[in-house]
Chains A and B, each alone.
Chain A
Amino acid sequence: MNGFKVAFLSLIAGLLLYVVIDQWRRPEQMGAMSRSFAEMAEASRAQTDELRKVRLALEARPVAAALTPSVAPSVAPSVASGVPTNVGSGAAVTPTAQVPETPATSVQPVPSTVVPAPTLDGVAKLGVEFMKPMDRSYIIAAHLGGTLRMISSTPKGLNPLLSSDAFTSEIQENCNDSLATHTSADPEAWFSQLAESAIISDDYKTYTFKLRKGVHWQVPAIAERPEFTWLRDVHELTSEDFAFALQLVLDPKVDCEHLRGYYQDLDRVETPDPYTLRLIWKKKVYTSLSFSLGAAPLPKHIYGRNKDGSIIPDNQVAVVFNKHWFDDERGVCGVGEFRLVEFTADKVARLRRSTDYWSTPSMHFDTIEYNFEIKQPDAMLVAFKNGQVHLTGLPPLKYKSEVLDRKEPRFAAADPANPKAGRSGEFGWEAAKRQAFSYIGWNARRPVFADTKTRQAMTYAFPKERIIRDIYMGLGQPILSDVHPDSSAYNSALKPLDFDLDQAKRLLAEAGWTDSDGDGLLDRVVAGNRIPFKFVVKYYANSPEWDNTLHIYRTELKRIGIEMEAVPQEWKELIRVYEDRDFDAVVGSWQMGFDLDFYQLWHSSQIDAPGGSNHCAFADPEVDTLAVQLREEFDLEKRLVIAKRIQQRIHDLQPYTFFMSPKSIFAWQNRAPAGSTERNRYLAGVEWGLDHLHPLKNRSPLSWYFPQ
């Protein structure tokens, strides 16, 4: 009887729970249903648009072909407004080029208004056109399409000015364009993007841009919602949008100090007409080039308005901008190739190819999906192995266990002779170079490291190659200066100070170090005091690689009579150490920027400047002059000469023992997903991407394709 009662009660409870769960899921299901209806409606609208374009193009074709060239200009504007994607501006195009192609074959390059001439090499010059027309020849029409799935982490907001995280800049790169663009492989060469032409005048202080006509802002995904119908209007890109963005950057109220530093020498922005933009800088600085040409627009018709579409008063724009409703709605609006169609924090972000992009595709994929669900390194690897994402990175220790120790047979075995050996497994992998370097810095304020010979000896005693091989599993490239060896500005005449203890001993003897008291430790007299060669090196505590590296270094130093103590430091403490210059030697690392600059690290004014980066007190009058010169020099040849001379000087004086530029392992799926056994399905597209790009360019998988 009792058992029956219990069973009956639990049955009732179970049924109740069932009903509750059922009801609880209902509204969400309804919401998803209406969303997918909206998506369908959008897709059908896009299709209608496409059809309209085809119809317009077909209607225009016989007219344009029949017209004589003298009549053509009067027809051109109407054609251009009807087919904004395919025609830039009608003025300088020959009549035959004006006949629009059918949009279905949108792979054709944009007819450029600028006639390519040998002077357009992309290198900035005074007073003349210099930008290269965009190069899309690498796009293979047959491979357009497909989805790329990647792991990323939820960004801190999506505002292009306020967020500085990698994800936001990646979204911006895909969804928005800038006036011109360059690649890290050849940073000196500029390709035109939103600016049709750029003229630099007034001794590199004034930049005048002519904007491309017929570029339209995307309609953001939230415009589907009834309260945002006002967002559905199509707006053309004008110079006002650039001025709006730059004025916000310069406004101290806007939370974007990471950008403001770069624009602090910008004097004013002028917009004589909707298609002309002029930036005037206060003084001649080389960085003005990349920050003028690289300026991106911001949609004034969104960020200048309230949620109900009313215009925000000018003096409140900056204040409202920090907490703008468009960011709360997770909106992204650009003029770029992709548009953000879905964003859910900690779940997913999805980009889809925009239907009215002003140019031809620059990437093969139609959809890019970022997965935010996975944060733990092990979980990332498992998600990759399960085929949920197309690629992942492998930290050195995982690289060792999964690939080198063959724990995962689906990775191809490593082959020291062939760097491409990893490509062919079911999971492909390859080492990619990174634009960063690590070093040991010698504090020149300390009597021990005040002289050049001692610092050189320290470098000779550092077994760089062996450490890279044994501790970093070969994932590093030895460097000699703060310019990457693969960069065109690298001084290849630098002679490496390879590991040589005898040479180190000789140099130490020349520097006055002897073991006078026979305790096995070198010493020398400095300012009347005999000091032993003992020092402390401080490094960031969270790095097992550096624990081992410094252990090896200490053993080598002991052999030549030097005592080194390695002290790991927590991050907060390390900041204090830098502030107080409270170290004999310190381990650090720097990112290598696009623009060559030696001022921040090596100029003597940065030794005692608050927040200065010349921690090691490196001071050399020649480097000081050259670093200042380089900041004002625009001529490429001269820039390279100066950069190479500075590198030579730094190499001679050895303020740092330059260690290496790290490589990272990234892995991708070669197998088709969803249980298919087809091998090496994606390999061709990935290999094409890898071999197509310069080794220094960030190997962004976005430039790959997946064969259909």
Chain B
Amino acid sequence: MTAYLFRRLLLMIPTIFGILCVNFAVLRLQSMSLTEAMSAGSGESVGERKVGAGGWALESKIDRFRRTGNDLPALINTYGFLTKESVVAWLRSTAPNAGTKDSVRNQREKQLWLVGTFAVHPLAEVLSDSALADLHGPASQALALCAYTSIEAWDLNRLSGKRIQQIQARNRTLRTLVIAYRQTPGQPFSTADEHAAEKRAALVALVADPENAADFNRSGKWSALVTKTGFYDFLRRLATGDLWSESRKEGAFSVIAQYWQTTLVLNLLSIGLAWAIAVPLGIHSARRANSLEDHVTTNVLFLLWSLPSFFVGTLFLHYFCTSTASGAPWFPNKGLSSPDNLWFSTPRFLVDLLWHGFLPMLTLSYASFVSLSRYLRGNLLEQFNADYVRTARAKGVNEQAIVNRHAFRNSSLTLITLSSGLLAELFGGVLIVEMIFSINGLGFLLLDAARQNDAPLVMASTVVSVGLLLVGILVADVLYAVVDPRIRSRYG
């Protein structure tokens, strides 16, 4: 039994890892690029009128990207190997005469801004080469942003006051040293700054300053190949629990801590309900197989099965949870308990919970009990034709005992196997049901986070629901072993 459990637990690791990979890939593809964040920040996305151009405060955008680990390349970070030549080629590809679309140029330009300290030295080399005069403007802009060092609230305890002042002073200086440049469509960049020479010299001097050497060195480029990547960062934050939710301004896991129990309770109750309906229904159908009654139930249940839960949920909401001109609704329309439930006695609290939870549970579980009861019926019919049932009947065992003690026990293996699959379905369904019945659970949180573009919170809540799901599957596996002696004997 222990060996069996251990084996099951080990199997979970690749599962979790695979899910994390898929999760990460989807969110990476969906997440905002710096260009989009910039146009969203300037009010463009909501069609809002803005006063004046400029004032985009790129630094705070970059801070936000760094806080969520979104500035790093996804899997491999080769930025440590950037050379002057490759940076020149990169800068040239962002020029208005590069022959590519503006969106592509913008994308490349913003990508360079996110490279960070690895690009500082190559950019300084570009700036010190007077033959590359056309690139000095964009190079100074990129250098100012790559050399910019974020200071977050948690750095205040980590770094000394003197060091913080030094970094802040450097950040301020960098802002003033950007060389203004023109982008005329179809032509290369051109410098439009009378102080270009001084700014250039100051930037090169700033990079060469021994005081800054430690911040801009490239010694960690080999380890950065793997460790300075989005995926590594995601795993690290997941392991240490500091995924940061931008929309709630709180750690993602401390947000989830307030939500996960509701979902778990709802799902467990739904499974309970599904079994409580499916088992009697299945047995009943099997015993009256091929009668008119059986045909009618089968057809009705299949009809039910084909209705999607969001549709059924909305119907429930509109017909059973809405007051009409003539009276109050039958069921409450939101939450899992009444607003003043805190002062209820425990029995009343439980009744209130059932009253609130009934429709959400039904919506979640009707698809499951339909399929469960059909599988059970089929399996029971098979058992009824088996030799041991015939023997029992011949012995004169009563029908009740045959069904309950012999046939059903064998069929319950199927039920348990199916339950773990149903659990996965429930975690999907809970998204919609929680939204329709306004229940503050994980699904509710997940959809809200997705709506607010909060990738870390989406990641964290998916991981937590996957964790819950895996625990559920584990429980099903254990039950399987408990019910089936063959498994127990196989693992000793």
Residues of A within 8 A of B (CB): 18, 21-22, 25, 28-29, 32, 154, 156-157, 252-258, 260-262, 264-265, 285, 287, 313, 315-316, 319-320, 322-323, 327-328, 345-347, 373-376, 378-379, 382-383, 385-388, 409-410, 426, 436, 571-572, 575-576, 578-582, 588-593, 595, 597, 600-601, 606, 608-613, 675
Contacts and interface: CB of A to CB of B under 8 A. Distances in A.
A378 B436 contact: yes
B265 to A, nearest CB: 11
B264 to A, nearest CB: 14
A691 to B, nearest CB: 28
A315 B168 contact: yes
Given A157-B249, A253-B59, A580-B103, A315 B164 contact: yes
B50 A600 contact: yes
B287 to A, nearest CB: 20
Contact of A156 (B54, B171, B247, B323): B247
Contact of A375 (B44, B63, B335, B448): B448
Contacts of A154: 448
A262 B436 contact: no
Given A315-B165, A382-B318, 18 more contacts: A21-B346, A21-B349, A29-B343, A253-B60, A256-B60, A260-B57, A316-B164, A319-B153, A319-B155, A328-B249, A346-B448, A373-B440, A378-B318, A385-B322, A386-B333, A388-B333, A436-B47, A610-B183
Given A315-B168, A609-B53, A426 B325 contact: yes
A322 B47 contact: no
B333 A613 contact: no
5 contacts: A252-B175, A327-B249, A376-B436, A588-B47, A613-B50
Interface stretch (B32-40, B298-306, B379-387): B32-40
Interface of B: 35-36, 38-39, 41-57, 59-61, 63-64, 101-103, 106, 151-153, 155-156, 161, 164-165, 168, 171, 175, 183, 185, 246-250, 258, 314, 317-318, 321-323, 325, 328-329, 333-335, 342-343, 346, 349-350, 435-438, 440, 444-445, 447-448, 452
Contacts of B57: 252, 257, 260
B49 A382 contact: no
B103 A382 contact: no
Given A257-B57, A592-B49, A379 B164 contact: no
Contact of B438 (A319, A375, A610): A375
B51 A575 contact: no
Contact of A373 (B46, B60, B63, B335): B335
B334 A383 contact: yes
User: Which 4 A-B pairs rank lowest in CB-CB distance, beginning with the nearest?
Assistant: A261-B55, A257-B57, A323-B153, A579-B103
A375 B445 CA distance: 11
B224 to A, nearest CB: 26
Contacts of B45: 571, 575
Contact of B317 (A261, A382, A388, A409): A382
Contacts of A21: 346, 349-350
A28 B342 contact: yes
Contacts of A315: 164-165, 168
A578 B102 CA distance: 10
B23 to A, nearest CB: 20
A386 B323 CA distance: 5
A588 B49 CA distance: 13
A581 B171 CA distance: 35
Best-buried of B47, B49, B452 by chain A (most CB within 10 Å) = B49
Contacts of A581: 102
A257 B333 contact: no
A255 to B, nearest CB: 5
Given A323-B152, A579-B35, A591-B49, A387 B323 contact: yes
B321 A382 contact: yes
Contacts of A379: 317, 333-334, 435-438
